[in-house]
Amino acid sequence: MLPCGAQSSREMQELNWREFAELVPARIQTVLLPTGTIEAHGVIHNGADNTAPVDLARAMAPRLNALVAPLIPYGVTGSLDGYPGTFQISESAYRPFVADVLRGLARNGFRNIIVVNGHGGPQTAILNDLAEQASREHRVRVLVINWWSACSEATFRVFGEDGGHAGWNETAFTQAVRPQLVRRDLFSKDLEMPRPAAGTWAAFPFPAPVILYQAGQGSVRFDEAKAKEYFLAVVDCMTNLAEGTIQRWDRMNLYPAAASPASPR
Ligand SMILES: [Zn+2]
């Protein structure tokens, strides 16, 4: 038997099946699923969209009494697909794979699936679509959070300006947790471009790996104190959003837990 209120790990893949059976769903109903991709990120590592959601999920899990599912590391990369070391999974392969992962989490007894997404572009709409489908088909509650946009308020608060793809905010996020992966020596302003206004132009590959959301804002800087402050602000913002959504689902009495000895309320 496990000691009450504790388990050997919050990493789902590190649990023994007997441990898992004791925990889910009797004591843990929430799972965090990190999703990302591998694409160029200016002066940080190509896997920044994978490490960010994993680091976030690990920080959020104790506060949400959640487990962390293994990351889905390959994703639907968009306009940066031409950069060295980048991977692109076709939408037709990605959709059924992620749908099956969501189904597996539901089938294993989780009631709340929080997708902590690290990569935007075409992947966001696909994940939203899959979440809706999984919720309907498996009567499970699914929240998809794009951390950089859901918590853009934290970006403005900490840096006093908007961020960008691989901009100051995303670089700072890596600097806070994995400083050895920030390559200051590779920085040059030439890596940065503001994203074009909607409907104006599109280039494939995009001719800069740092894509600023607004011209003149979010340019990469290396401020360690701000990096740490930003990481904590994003963890708080993400945790509050997930917790608030779960509480609202409960108050609306959506998909109440089945009253059976196997899955008590
Ligand atoms: Zn990124």
CA of 121 to the centre of ligand 1 (A): 10
**Residues whose CB is less than 8 angstroms from the CB of residue 94 and which lie 6 or more positions away in sequence, other chains included:** 74, 75, 76, 123, 126
CA of 118 to the centre of ligand 1 (A): 6
CA of 110 to the centre of ligand 1 (A): 28
Q: Does residue 169 fall inside a structural domain?
A: yes
- Domain limits for position 198: 12-251
Q: Does residue 5 fall inside a structural domain?
A: no
In our burial notation (b when 16+ CB lie closer than 10 A, e otherwise), range 25-55 reads: beebbbbbbbbbbbbbbbbbbbbbbbbbbbb
- pLDDT per position in the chain (265 positions), as tens? 444 455 689 999 999 999 999 999 999 999 999 999 999 999 999 999 999 999 999 999 999 999 999 999 999 999 999 999 999 999 999 999 999 999 999 999 999 999 999 999 999 999 999 999 999 999 999 999 999 999 999 999 999 999 999 999 999 999 999 999 999 999 999 999 999 999 999 999 999 999 999 999 999 999 999 999 999 999 999 999 999 999 999 999 999 887 554 544 4
Q: Does residue 265 fall inside a structural domain?
A: no
Q: Does residue 64 fall inside a structural domain?
A: yes
CA of 111 to the centre of ligand 1 (A): 29
CA of 18 to the centre of ligand 1 (A): 37
Which token pair is 47? 């896997």
CA of 144 to the centre of ligand 1 (A): 16
What is the domain-level CATH number for residue 209? 3.40.50.10310
CA of 172 to the centre of ligand 1 (A): 12
Which token pair is 167? 């901009």
β-strand partners of 33: 115
- pLDDT for 2 equals 47
Q: Does residue 263 fall inside a structural domain?
A: no
CA of 249 to the centre of ligand 1 (A): 30
Assess contact for 231 and 175: CB atoms under 8 A.
Answer: no
Q: Does residue 178 fall inside a structural domain?
A: yes
CA of 50 to the centre of ligand 1 (A): 8
Tokens 């992962």 belong to residue: 101
In our burial notation (b when 16+ CB lie closer than 10 A, e otherwise), range 146-177 reads: bbbebbbebbeebbebbbbbbbbbbbbbbbbb
Q: Does residue 261 fall inside a structural domain?
A: no
Can you give the pTM of this predicted structure? 0.94
CA of 106 to the centre of ligand 1 (A): 28
Which token pair is 178? 């994995």
CA of 62 to the centre of ligand 1 (A): 25
Q: How many domains does the chain have?
A: 1
CA of 52 to the centre of ligand 1 (A): 8
CA of 165 to the centre of ligand 1 (A): 6
Which token pair is 265? 């309320």
Burial of 58 (0-12, 13-18, 19+ CB in 10 A): middle
Q: Does residue 111 fall inside a structural domain?
A: yes
